[in-house]
């Protein structure tokens, strides 16, 4: 082989090596580990959705507070996971090969939901009832993110109530308190929207057990709106604002001095382009004694 031929072969070999070392021009880039965790349970009562993006925020929607904080706010929350938290999640998923799992959902009579993982083109689903170490440790880490997100409400509501005895009735002051930083649209009386009507339940408890209950009817709600004691439609609450609901007199149960009262509320809320039906309750408290007549 002549000098010119050997040079041409060598140049071709170098070109092949150079091409082999170059990455594909359109190789997909991983967005990181993404997690979608949702639970809707009746025992214990709890409902939430947590979405952990591969980059950026972990977003939380609490539809019904859990037993750890049953009187806490419900609504929309968000937190930015720390680099350490992301590293712990990724390490746990890799160590236990959780991206290779394709479990059945594992639903029970007490609840439903899902726990899904994705990383690039890989997809996995873990059973909510799985007892193995990896799945349990992952749920524990996600609960930590949920607790952190609850401290950062974007648009959230809590329920405050106060009641006093007035003869055979209870006079109840009820308010929905906005605890977030963004405006929240609250559906009070919007019959054209599914679940667009506020629902109120007054609960009397004796020694922690249900003693009696009363409900605010749609007709009661319509009367309050007609008398302009309550805004119709979908009022928007700003940060720190309250929606006061002047409840009609409620008949007291027997031995009212022995009971505590709390108020449960179900309401549709909208933040930006997201909507959800929320359930929240005020903390149980004794009824205040009847105000003595003025002399």
- Residues 194 and 180 sit within 8 Å (Cβ to Cβ): no
At 106 the pLDDT is 64
At 107 the pLDDT is 65
Q: For residue 131, which phi and psi values (nearest 5 degrees)?
A: -105, 0
Mean pLDDT by 10 residues, the chain (295 residues): 46 41 34 89 86 93 92 97 93 94 74 90 90 92 96 97 95 96 96 94 95 95 94 94 95 94 97 96 94 63
Question: Which domains does the chain show, CATH number per domain?
Answer: 34-150 (3.30.1560.10), 159-286 (2.60.40)
Exposure string over 120-155, b if 16+ CB within 10 A, otherwise e: eeeebbbbbebeeebbebbeebbeebbebbbeebbb
The residue among 176, 194, 91 whose CA lies nearest residue 137 is: 91
At 14 the pLDDT is 37
At 291 the pLDDT is 75
At 264 the pLDDT is 97
Tell me the torsion sign for CA atoms 49, 51, 52, 55: negative
- Residues 174 and 200 sit within 8 Å (Cβ to Cβ): yes
At 20 the pLDDT is 41
- Residues 27 and 120 sit within 8 Å (Cβ to Cβ): no
At 31 the pLDDT is 57
């Amino acid at each position: 082989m002549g000098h010119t031929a050997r040079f041409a072969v060598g140049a071709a070999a170098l070109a092949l090596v150079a091409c082999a070392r170059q990455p594909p021009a359109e190789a997909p880039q991983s967005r990181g580990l993404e997690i979608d965790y949702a639970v809707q349970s009746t025992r214990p009562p709890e409902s939430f959705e947590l979405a952990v993006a591969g980059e950026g925020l972990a977003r939380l929607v609490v539809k019904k507070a859990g037993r750890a904080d049953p009187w806490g706010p419900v609504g929309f929350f968000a937190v930015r996971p720390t680099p350490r938290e992301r590293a712990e999640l990724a390490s746990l998923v890799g160590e236990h090969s959780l991206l290779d799992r394709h479990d059945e959902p594992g639903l029970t009579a007490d609840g439903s939901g899902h726990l899904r993982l994705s990383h690039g083109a890989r997809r996995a689903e873990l059973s909510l009832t799985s007892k193995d170490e990896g799945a349990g440790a992952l749920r524990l880490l996600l609960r930590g993110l949920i607790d952190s997100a609850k401290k950062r409400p974007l648009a959230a509501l809590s329920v405050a109530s106060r009641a006093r005895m007035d003869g055979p009735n209870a006079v109840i002051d009820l308010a929905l308190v906005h605890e977030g930083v963004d405006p929240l649209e609250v559906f009070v009386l919007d019959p054209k929207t599914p679940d667009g009507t506020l629902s109120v339940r007054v609960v009397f408890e004796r020694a922690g057990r249900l003693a009696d209950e009363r409900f605010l009817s749609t007709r009661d709600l319509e009367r309050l709106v007609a008398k302009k004691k309550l805004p119709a439609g979908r009022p928007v609450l700003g940060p720190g604002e309250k929606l006061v609901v002047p409840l009609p007199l409620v008949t007291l149960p027997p031995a009212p001095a022995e009971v505590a009262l709390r108020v449960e509320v179900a309401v549709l809320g909208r933040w930006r382009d997201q909507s959800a039906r929320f359930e929240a309750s005020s903390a149980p408290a004794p009824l205040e004694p009847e105000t003595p007549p003025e002399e």
